[in-house]
Structure 1
Amino acid sequence: MPENNADSRGLLIELTADIVSAYVSKNAVPPASLPELIASVNSSLSNIGQPVEPETPAQAPAVNPKRSVFPEYIICLEDGKKFKSLKRHLNVHYGLSPNEYREKWGLKPDYPMVAPNYAAQRSALAKSSGLGHKTAERKSGPRRSR
């Protein structure tokens, strides 16, 4: 294995010398910048075949996070669309959970995923239908099976 490593280093030096000499023969290069050119070519050649991580630019929110919550809707910071509930939209279109979304945009843990009026409406509906309360025992007693 060490022989293989030495061979590849020798080949890298040889390729670097060939490329730099070809470049210098056709272009005027000040002698002071030759070491920089050699290092640049050598670095580029040694990185060939290495996986490169694509640079992802920092994404800016579609709207100011402080102005994204309204009584009737919430504006998605990813695309600027209005929703009563963000959870499904974030999961389907961006593969984000509510916590990942909050973390990505630097939002507080109590940032709502549902518009305030919609949450109040759903809460009132649940209370009026008796959700969350145990049903009263029937006056006739326990059910008997036949």
Structure 2
Amino acid sequence: MEDYLKEALEIVKAQASVRTMTEEEITSMVKTLASGIRVISEDDALAEETQEAAVDPKKSIKEKTVTCLECGKTFKILTKRHLALHDLDAISYREKWGLKKNTPLVCKALQRERRKKMNNMKLWERRRKNEG
């Protein structure tokens, strides 16, 4: 049995316990409520699917900020913790907003800074020395 029909039956059952109702009243009320609940639940599902981005997804990653497409707040990095507030992880966030799989959720300045730091550390050379 459909969820919306069960909900409608519960409502009518509660109504019938308070006042006397004819069989016709009960069936028409169930039909009306069930269709109304179904319409509302379908509208909610459509609203979730067609959520608008706070900004254009391609323009959300800027030089000094990253804008969360869910809430519109700006950060230097979109963390797991923030994405969890929207019930998302990095992978599902990228899929939802049409970003490439390997797009970093970090502002461009911080990306460059980290890349420069890693190049200066040259960890790959240290690893070769330890292995050799």
Q: Classify the TM-score, shorter chain.
A: 0.5 to 0.7
Cα deviation for residue 99 of structure 1 reads 1.0
Identity fraction in percent? 29
Judged with a 3 Å threshold, the aligned counterparts in structure 2 of structure 1 residues 61 and 135 are, in CA distance, closer, same or farther, namely same
Q: 2:97 is matched with which residue?
A: 105
For each residue in 1:36-62, what CA deviation from the matched residue of structure 2 results, as whole angstroms up to 9, or x when unmatched? Answer: xx7x53524678xxxx95824232111
Counterpart contact for 1:90–1:97, Cα < 8 Å: no
**TM-score (ref. length: structure 2):** 0.58
Q: Structure 1 stretches of 5 or more lacking a match?
A: 1-13, 21-37, 138-146
State the 4+ residue runs in structure 1 displaced beyond 3 angstroms.
44-47, 89-92
For each residue in 1:51-80, what CA deviation from the matched residue of structure 2 results, as whole angstroms up to 9, or x when unmatched? Answer: x95824232111121221212221110111
The structure with the largest alpha-carbon Rg is 1
Matched pairs, number: 103
Cα deviation for residue 96 of structure 1 reads 1.4
Q: CA RMSD, aligned part only?
A: 3.4
Cα deviation for residue 83 of structure 1 reads 1.6
**TM-score (ref. length: structure 1):** 0.54
Q: Distance in 1 between matches of 2:104 and 2:113?
A: 15
Judged with a 3 Å threshold, the aligned counterparts in structure 2 of structure 1 residues 114 and 45 are, in CA distance, closer, same or farther, namely closer
Residue 29 of structure 2, aligned match among 38, 41, 57: 41
More helix by share: 2
Judged with a 3 Å threshold, the aligned counterparts in structure 2 of structure 1 residues 136 and 45 are, in CA distance, closer, same or farther, namely closer
Larger RCO (CA under 8 A, 6+ residues apart): 2
Cα deviation for residue 131 of structure 1 reads 2.3
Q: Distance in 1 between matches of 2:123 and 2:33?
A: 67
Alignment-mate amino acid for residue 69 of structure 1: I
Q: Is 1:136 matched with 2:129?
A: yes
